[in-house]
Amino acid sequence: MDSKHAFITGGGSGIGLAIAKRLQDDGHTVTIAGRSEEPLKDSGFNYIVMDVTEEKSVDAGISSIEPVDILISNAGAAQTAPVLKTPLAMWEAMLSVNLTGAFLCAKAGIPNMVEKGWGRFIVIASTSALKGYPYTGAYTASKHGTMGLVKTLAIELAKTGVTANAVCPGFTETDLLSRSIENIVKTTSMNEEQALKALLKDNPMGRAIQPEEVAASVSWLCSADANSTNGQSIVIDGGELAS
């Protein structure tokens, strides 16, 4: 495939950074975005500072770079609480970054793809987009929402040359996982090893997903081999949903 311009939100660390490295290795030009400049600067990639929850920030950010061919909506956050004890502020924050952020990026970035007749819109969702987990109501609702967005875009864009898909990893070895483990240790009698084991109890492989494994699936979705893959949720979970 000819070199394309890939734009990755939340690209300064974790899954986003792994995707940036993989797509660069694939020969694409890469721009990453995030709210904090320091990790973006340290990454060595071209970058812009952008807040996916703010429409003006997204519009200004995407219009400031060269036209995007591949848009990876990866920026996200996870806060946990039982549904009936979830503060409204937490609920709104999860919807804002995980769902509205993907919507705003799609709205700003996809029209150029349609005009050119080729493009990829990929949301890094979660197995939480496909099943429920206790104490994650706001997060899980936001991720389920992203799948509705992806499926609708896939249908609406089907004749344009632009595809929309989601990659849904299970617990992945990132800072987000580390913070989840820390929270469990603080609120229970578990140590770190026990906390990790509890999080991975439904994963038949019994290990965390690696960011590079997620990046590999994104790489394939960006290739010509995936031209007819549209509206799909690519699950990377060690067999959790299968079990």
Instruction: Tell me the C-alpha distance between 225 and 168, whole Å.
Output: 19
Instruction: Tell me the C-alpha distance between 119 and 154, whole Å.
Output: 12
Annotated catalytic, 135?
Answer: no
Query: Looking at 47, 133, 135, 139, which residue is catalytic?
Result: 139
Residue 49 near residue 33 (C-beta atoms within 8 A): yes
Residue 172 has which token pair? 């992945």
Residue 124 vs residues 135, 164, 168: alpha-carbon distances, Å: 21, 11, 6
Look up tokens 């469990």; give the residue: 184
Element (H, E) at 9: strand 5-9
Positions annotated as catalytic residues are: 139
